[in-house]
């Protein structure tokens, strides 16, 4: 089954980030998932604007920026300047969802809305006709290398059904705990963009890991 792989840089070796990016490109990857955490919306701090601006100068990968920050609208313009192509944000992190979508679009970027595992999927589906991407988290946001939460598969099915019924073209991205073993189930449920952190970077064998994920997708 055709899908877009968006490897999450959170799982890379940051001491050799240039080399990691080159390996991703050699592996034929087109998207890069960038997890931004503020230590407030989630219990972790990752990286932010200076890192994204630096790597923007090194690669033409599509920057899929996943903001896990409180009141994301405050930072939308700065992430646009840093080189984001798409900005997605959590509906749990703000009461200004519509305004934030509009702000992202006004900067010429694609917009995505995200729901955490315990949030009703309808909370993002109500924006499905206005965004370019819906993101269903399949682990609690904040950390890589967690286990996929099985109850999220039903949310993916619901979201795919909604998009089909309403003839909407938004991407349906799933993020957290995905590997070559469970990928098929997630694709068959209706995802078309897959985030992989640990599964893409483990052992530093990025090209081989990406190959394995592509092969697993083919059987779906």
Per DSSP, 31 falls in state: E
Size of the site for ligand DX5 (CB under 6 A): 22
Q: Any contact of residue 216 with ligand DX5 (CB under 6 A)?
A: no
Evaluate whether 181 touches 215 at the Cβ level (below 8 Å): no
Evaluate whether 31 touches 220 at the Cβ level (below 8 Å): no
**Nearest CB to ligand DX5, comparing residues 35 and 162:** 35
Q: How far apart are CA 40 and CA 10, in angstroms?
A: 18
Evaluate whether 162 touches 190 at the Cβ level (below 8 Å): no
**Nearest CB to ligand DX5, comparing residues 44 and 158:** 44
Token pair 């938004």: residue: 170
CB of 79 to ligand DX5, least distance (A): 15
The entry of ligand DX5, Zn ion, none near residue 142 (CB within 5 to 8 angstroms by kind) is: ligand DX5
Residues 4-33 that bind ligand DX5 (CB under 6 A): 8, 10-11, 33
Token pair 């490897």: residue: 7
Q: How far apart are CA 35 and CA 58, in angstroms?
A: 18
Binding mask 143-182 for Zn ion (x = CB under 5 A): --------------------------------x-------
Per DSSP, 72 falls in state: G
Binding mask 53-92 for Zn ion (x = CB under 5 A): -------------x--------------------------
Nearest residue to ligand DX5, using CB? 197
Q: How far apart are CA 105 and CA 162, in angstroms?
A: 23
Q: Any contact of residue 38 with Zn ion (CB under 5 A)?
A: no
Instruction: For the beta carbon of residue 210, count every other beta carbon within 10 angstroms.
Output: 22
* Part in contact with ligand DX5 (CB under 6 A); list of ranges 87-95, 118-126, 169-177, 184-192: 169-177
**Nearest CB to ligand DX5, comparing residues 176 and 190:** 176
Evaluate whether 156 touches 175 at the Cβ level (below 8 Å): no
Residues at the contact surface with ligand DX5, assessed by CB under 6 A: 8, 10-11, 33, 35, 66, 139, 141-146, 175-178, 195-199
């Amino acid at each position: 089954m055709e899908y877009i792989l968006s490897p999450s840089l959170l799982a890379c070796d940051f001491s050799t980030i240039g080399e990691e990016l080159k390996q991703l490109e050699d592996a034929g990857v087109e998207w890069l998932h960038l997890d931004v955490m503020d230590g407030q919306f989630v219990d972790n701090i990752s990286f932010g604007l200076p890192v994204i601006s630096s790597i923007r100068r090194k690669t033409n990968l599509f920057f899929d920026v996943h903001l896990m920050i409180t009141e994301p609208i405050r930072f939308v313009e700065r992430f646009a300047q840093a080189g984001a192509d798409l900005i997605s944000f959590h509906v749990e992190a703000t009461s200004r969802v519509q305004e934030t979508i509009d702000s992202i679009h006004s900067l010429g970027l694609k917009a995505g809305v995200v729901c955490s595992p315990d949030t009703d999927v309808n909370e993002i589906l109500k924006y499905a006709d206005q965004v370019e991407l819906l993101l269903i988290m399949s682990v609690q946001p904040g950390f890589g290398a967690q286990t996929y939460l099985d109850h999220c598969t039903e949310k993916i099915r619901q979201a795919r059904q909604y998009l089909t019924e309403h003839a909407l073209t938004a991407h349906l991205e799933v993020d957290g705990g995905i590997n070559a073993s469970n990928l098929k189930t997630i694709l068959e449920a209706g995802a078309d963009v897959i985030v992989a952190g640990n599964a893409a970077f483990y052992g530093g064998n990025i090209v081989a890991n990406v190959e394995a994920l592509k092969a697993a997708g083919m059987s779906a």
